[in-house]
Structure 1
Amino acid sequence: MDLKGKVAVVTGAGSGIGYAIAQRFAAAGAAVAINYFGYENEARALAERMNSQGGRALAVKADVAKAGEVAAMVEQTTRELGGCHVLVNNAGVEKAMPLLDVTEEEWDKEVSINLKGAFLCLQAAGRAMRDSGQGGSIVNISSIHEDFPFPLHGPYCASKGGLRMLMRNAALELAPYQIRVNNVAPGAVATPINTGTLNDPAKMQRLSEIIPVGRMAKPEEVADVALFLASDSASYVTGSTYYVDGGMVRYAEPL
C-alpha cells in the first residue's frame, strides 16, 4: 500500500494514534498536514523531521471545533501541499465522570471536539475533494465505544455513537463524488490518553483478561488499518467500521 501523490490531513496528530498515523502516511509517500492544538512542539518536530528526510509535511494549529479554523487549515493544506486527498479525523478527548455529575461544559467540550469537530473537518475536506474532481478517503478514528458501553464516559460514548451514524450517512452522500468514508474503532491503546490505566497494575491485569489477545494495542497497529482505508487498496470500501481491539467487543465468559 502506498500514498504516493496524495496529500493527507491528520487531526490531533501531535501525539498518540494521530502521531503514528502521520508517520505511517509519510512513510507511504504522502504529504502530510499535521494538525495540532496541544502538543505543538511534538507536531512541529515531526513535520521538521519528515521534511528533513525528503518528505513534505506541514504542522497546522487549528481547533477542530471551530469552523473558521478548520476551513483555514484545509485551505492552507491545499495551497501549500497541493491538494487534500485524505482526511483522518483523529482529534478527540474523554474524561471519566458519573453521568449524573456531567456538567454542561464537559458535555459540550467532548461532543464539540469528538463529533462536531469530525463533522466540520469532514465537510471542509469533503468539499475540497469534491471540487478537485479526484475524490478521496475520509477515515474517522472512532472507538469501540461507538457500540460498546463505557460506564462513566457518557459524553464520549454519545459522541462516538454519533460519529458512527455520521460516517454511514456521509458514505452514502459522498459516494457520487468518489469519496469513501469509514471508521476505525480502536479498543485499548497505549497512548497518552490512557496514561492512568497504563500506570495502574490492577487495570492492566483486568485488561489482559477481557481482551482476547491479552494486551493493549500499539498506536502503529491502528495506523496500519488507517493506511489501508486511505489507500487505493480500499477503493471499494466505504460505509463501515473496522475494529482494532484485539477482540475486546467480543469478550464473553462461560456461565
Structure 2
Amino acid sequence: MTLLAGKRVLITGGSTGIGAAAAVEAARQGADVAINYATSEDRAQQVIADIQAMGRKALAVRGDVADPDTAQDFIARAVEAFGGVDVFVNNAGICPFHALLDMPVAVVERTFRVNLHGAYYMVQAAANQMVKQGHGGAIVAVSSISALVGGEFQTHYTPTKAGVHSLMQSAAIALGKHNIRCNSVLPGTILTEINREDLADLDKRRRMEARVPLGRLGEAEDLAGPIIFLASDMAQYVTGAALLVDGGAFVNLQ
C-alpha cells in the first residue's frame, strides 16, 4: 500500500535534513514531489534524482522563503509541472544559536522572516491553491519541541516555532470548511545541518542523548513517517493536532 498514491506534494527546505527525508519518503509512498531550497543546489539535485529513480515526477525550485514572492513562485511552478497541489509541507527553518543579551537585530529579523513569516506566506499560497482546486488537501508544518519549552541560546528561535504551531491551529479552523487539514510535527533534537556545529561538542551531545528515554537523538528519517501519516488519508479526521517526535524527551522531567 502506498499512502500518497497520485498525490502532488510540495516541501520547503527540501534539499537537506527533514525536508529531504520527507521528500524521498513521499515519493516512495507514490507522490510526485516538488521541493523548495535556498542554497544547496547539489543536494537538491540529488533529492530530485532519488525521487525520479522511484518513477515519480520531481521538481526543485530555488528561492528564499523569507521573500513573500517565493511562495507564489513555488506554488505556480509546481502547479505548472504537476497540475495542482494536494499536500504542502512547511519545513524550511534556521536556528543560528546566540545568547539573549547581545542578540544582533539582524539575527532576530532573519530568523523570524525565514521561520515564521516564510511559513505564513507559504501556507497561505498553498491553501489558496487547494481552495481553488476544490477538493481539499493537507498541510503539515514542521514546528519543534521548542514550541513548548525554552532554550538559553534560542530566544529568537523558540517564539518562531511556537508561532508555526499556533499557525497550524488557526489555519485548521480557517480551512476546515474547505476540507483542508492542518497539523504540525514537533521534533525533538534531530541531527541535521541546523545543529551539526552545536552538537560537535561530544559532551553536550551525550548529555542530550541521556535525556531521551529512547536513548538516542533523532535522525531526519524519523520525521518522514509522521509527516507522511499526517499528509495521508489515514489521518483524514486529524486537524489542528501537534505530534511530538522526540524520543520521549518532553515527558522526561525527573
- TM-score normalised to structure 1 length: 0.96
Per-residue deviation, residues 125-160 of structure 1 (Å, max 9, x unmatched) = 000000100110000001000011111111100101
Matched, 1:250 2:227: no
Distance 1:142 1:45 in 2: 25
Distance 2:222 2:198 in 1: 19
Deviation at 1:76, TM superposition (A): 0.8
In 1, are the aligned partners of 2:184 and 2:242 still within 8 Å (CA)? Answer: yes
Partner residue in 1 for 2:102: 101
Greater helix content: 1
Amino acid at match of 1:13: G
Distance 2:84 2:159 in 1: 33
In 2, are the aligned partners of 1:3 and 1:231 still within 8 Å (CA)? Answer: yes
Amino acid at match of 2:185: V
Partner residue in 1 for 2:178: 177
How many residues align? The count is: 253
Partner residue in 1 for 2:150: 149
Deviation at 1:177, TM superposition (A): 0.4
More off after superposition, 65-74 vs 191-200: 191-200
More off after superposition, 225-234 vs 53-62: 53-62
Partner residue in 1 for 2:162: 161
Which consecutive residues of structure 2, in runs of 5 or more, have no partner in the other structure? Answer: none
Partner residue in 2 for 1:225: 226
Partner residue in 2 for 1:28: 29
Which consecutive residues of structure 1, in runs of 5 or more, have no partner in the other structure? Answer: none
3-state SS of 2:60 partner: strand
Deviation at 1:51, TM superposition (A): 2.1
Partner residue in 2 for 1:194: 195
Distance 2:197 2:72 in 1: 34
Q: 1:1-255 to 2 correspondence within 5 Å?
A: 1-253=2-254
In 1, are the aligned partners of 2:24 and 2:50 still within 8 Å (CA)? Answer: no
Deviation at 1:251, TM superposition (A): 1.6
Amino acid at match of 1:76: R
Amino acid at match of 1:89: N
Per-residue deviation, residues 23-72 of structure 1 (Å, max 9, x unmatched) = 00000010000110021111122213322442100011111111212101
Distance 2:155 2:60 in 1: 32
3-state SS of 1:229 partner: helix
RMSD (CA atoms): 1.1
Stretches (4+) displaced over 3 A? none
